[in-house]
Amino acid sequence: MADLLADRKTISYNNCMIQLFTTHLFGGIEIFILTGMAYDRYVAICKPLHYATIMNKQRCNTIIIACCTGGFIHSGSQFLLTIFLPFCGPNEIDHYFCDVNPLLKLACSDTHIIGLLVIANSGLVALVTFVVLMLSYFFILYTIRTYSAESRSKALSTCSSHVTVVVLFFAPVLFIYMRPATTFPEDKIFALFYTIIAPMFNPLIYTLRNMEMKNAMRKVWCHQIPPKQKLNFNYFCSWCHDSIRPHL
C-alpha cells in the first residue's frame, strides 16, 4: 500500500514480490468469503427453519478458516511460480501493481508452462467458485418460485448486495485470468474493479442494506434540511418521521 500511495513509480524487487503475495492473498480470501456468503444465503432462504442449527458458530469459524487457508494456498502458489523467474532485461511493467502476467512478460526464459499453471491456479479458482455461486443462486431461485410476490421480493432484496459485489469482482477476474498469459492496456482498468472499486463499495453496499442505517439516514436528512426548504418538503419529512416511528 505504501508503494501504491507513493508518488514514485519504482518499486524494489522484494517489495514487488510482497505486493504480489499480499494482493493474491486478500483477493483469494475475498473470493472464498463471497462463496461462503452464497452458502449462507442459500441456507437462510432455502432452509430457514434449520438456519440457526446449520450456520452455528462452529460452522462459521470453519468457513472463515477455510477461506483464509484457501487464500494462502492460492497466493503461495502464485508467489512460487514467480519468484524463481530470471529477470535480466527490461524492468518496466504496464500495470499499476505487481501481478503475475506483467512479470511473466519481463522474464528472460520461456514462460509458456508457467502461464498455463497460472491459468490452472487463478483461472480455475475463479471459475469454479463462480460456478458454485451461480449454482447456489439457481437453487435459491428454484426454491422461491412458489413463494408469494412479497416473499420473493424480500428474498431477492436480501441477495441483491451480494450479487452486486460478485459481478463487480468476478467479471474482471475471469477476463484477466482465464486467458493465456498476455497483457493488454485495458487490464489496468479491469484490475481496478477487483482491487479497488469492489472493496471500496463493499461497506456502502452492505451498510445501506441495514434497516437501522436507513432509518438513521432518514433522521439526519430530515433534520439537516434548512428552514426555507422545510416549507417545500413537509410531505417528505412527514413521510420520513412516519416511516421511522415504531408501529405498536
Q: Are residues 77 and 118 in the same domain?
A: yes
How high is the pLDDT of residue 238? 44
The rounded mean pLDDT for the chain is: 79
Q: Are residues 159 and 205 in the same domain?
A: yes
Q: Are residues 246 and 184 in the same domain?
A: no
Q: Are residues 150 and 241 in the same domain?
A: no
Q: Are residues 134 and 219 in the same domain?
A: no
How high is the pLDDT of residue 1? 66
Q: Residue 221: is its pLDDT beyond 80? A: no
Tell me, rounded to whole angstroms, the distance of Cα 169 from its chain centroid.
5
Q: Are residues 162 and 221 in the same domain?
A: no
Q: Are residues 79 and 201 in the same domain?
A: yes
Block residue for cell numbers 439457481: 138
Lowest mean per-residue pLDDT among 145-149, 181-185, 226-230: 226-230
Pairwise CA distance, residues 214 & 26, whole Å: 30
Q: pLDDT grade, residue 119 (50/70/90)?
A: confident
Q: Are residues 145 and 224 in the same domain?
A: no
Query: What's the pTM?
Result: 0.74
Grid coordinates in use for 223? 433534520
Question: Of 178, 194, 209, which residue constitutes the final position of a domain?
Answer: 209
Q: Are residues 179 and 218 in the same domain?
A: no
Q: Are residues 109 and 195 in the same domain?
A: yes
Instruction: Give the mean model confidence (pLDDT) for residues 16-35.
Output: 89
The neighbour count for residue 79, using CB atoms within 10 Å, is 18
Tell me, rounded to whole angstroms, the distance of Cα 200 from its chain centroid.
9
**All residues at 6 or more sequence positions from 156 whose CB lies less than 8 Å from its CB, including other chains:** 144
The neighbour count for residue 57, using CB atoms within 10 Å, is 7
The residue with greater pLDDT, 199 or 131, is 131
Instruction: Give the mean model confidence (pLDDT) for residues 90-105.
Output: 82
Which range has highest mean pLDDT (65-74, 184-193, 230-239)?
65-74
How high is the pLDDT of residue 3? 65
Q: Are residues 196 and 226 in the same domain?
A: no
Q: Residue 66: is its pLDDT beyond 70? A: yes
Cα dihedral 97, 4, 28, 15 sign: positive
Task: Give the CATH number of the domain where residue 33 resides.
Answer: 1.20.1070.10
Q: pLDDT grade, residue 241 (50/70/90)?
A: very low
Pairwise CA distance, residues 60 & 171, whole Å: 27
Q: What are phi and psi of 84, to 5 degrees?
A: -95, 5
Q: How many domains does the chain have?
A: 2
Range of the structural domain that residue 159 is part of = 2-209
Distances from the Cα of 26 to the Cαs of 42, 75, 192, 233, in angstroms? 24, 8, 15, 46
How high is the pLDDT of residue 61? 93
How high is the pLDDT of residue 73? 93
Q: What are phi and psi of 28, to 5 degrees?
A: -65, -40
Q: Are residues 198 and 220 in the same domain?
A: no
Pairwise CA distance, residues 133 & 33, whole Å: 11
